[in-house]
């Protein structure tokens, strides 16, 4: 599974058709562009209240990669969502408790361009849903900053609600591990 996820992230990066250096990740005017690979860190603040035992970790690190979803119908390119895959060991935080073997999908959206124009506070907002459509809803809500994206996550399931914080940084080489 690990090698499959890494290969998928590499394929996503190769298929994006854009050099990583061409993106200004911290620029809110980039329309929430997430194309490329990101180093992800999730920290647990409040675990599920209906867990049998505490989660084995309070922080996990991994990788998430995105490509633009050009299938979306919108006259404004800033309204295009990003599709992604991730490699995050969510069960170490007590998430993914159903051990769902579904493909590790992610869907990222930014406010529509017209909404961002009327509300400047939303220009740099981003929403990422992990495993859209699954019975465990995990949503990351963040804001672009000069070095990446910072925010909070919330997970909801039959076991209650778990919360935490997260950060995404443009992917660094494996030799520079950040976790």
Percent of the chain with pLDDT over 90: 41
Residue-level pLDDT at 115? 55
Q: How confident is the prediction for the chain on average, in pLDDT?
A: 76
Residue-level pLDDT at 174? 59
Residue-level pLDDT at 32? 54
Domain edges within the chain? 2-21+34-174
Residue 86 has pLDDT above 60, yes or no: yes
The answer to whether the pTM exceeds 0.75 is no
* Beta strand ranges found along the chain (DSSP E): 36-46, 59-68, 82-87, 105-109, 125-130, 137-145, 148-157, 160-170
Of 11-15, 32-36, 82-86, where does mean pLDDT reach its minimum?
11-15
CA-to-CA dists, residue 174 to 63, 83, 161, 178, 179, angstroms: 11, 23, 33, 9, 11
- As its CATH architecture, domain 2-21+34-174 has Beta Barrel (2.40)
**In which band, very low, low, confident or very high, does the pLDDT at 160 lie, cut at 50, 70 and 90?**
very high
Residue 101, C-beta contacts closer than 8 angstroms, at least 6 positions apart? none
Residue 163 has pLDDT above 50, yes or no: yes
Of 3-12, 23-32, 116-125, where does mean pLDDT reach its minimum?
23-32
Residue-level pLDDT at 103? 85
């Amino acid at each position: 599974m690990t090698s499959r996820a890494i290969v998928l992230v590499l394929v996503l990066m190769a298929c994006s058709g854009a050099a990583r250096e061409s993106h200004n990740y911290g620029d809110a005017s980039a329309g929430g562009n997430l194309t490329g690979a990101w180093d992800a860190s999730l920290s647990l603040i409040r675990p599920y209240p209906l867990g049998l035992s505490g989660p084995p970790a309070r922080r996990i690190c991994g990788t998430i990669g995105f490509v633009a979803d050009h299938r979306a119908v919108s006259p404004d390119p800033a309204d295009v969502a990003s599709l992604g895959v991730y490699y995050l060991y969510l069960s170490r935080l007590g998430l993914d408790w159903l051990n769902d073997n579904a493909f590790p999908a992610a869907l990222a959206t930014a406010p529509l361009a017209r909404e961002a124009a009327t509300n400047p506070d939303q220009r740099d907002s981003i929403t990422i849903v992990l495993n859209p459509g699954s019975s465990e809803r995990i949503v990351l809500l963040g804001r672009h900053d000069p070095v990446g994206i910072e925010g909070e996550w919330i997970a909801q399931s039959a076991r209650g609600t778990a919360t935490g914080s997260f950060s995404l940084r443009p992917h660094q080489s494996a030799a520079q591990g950040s976790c």
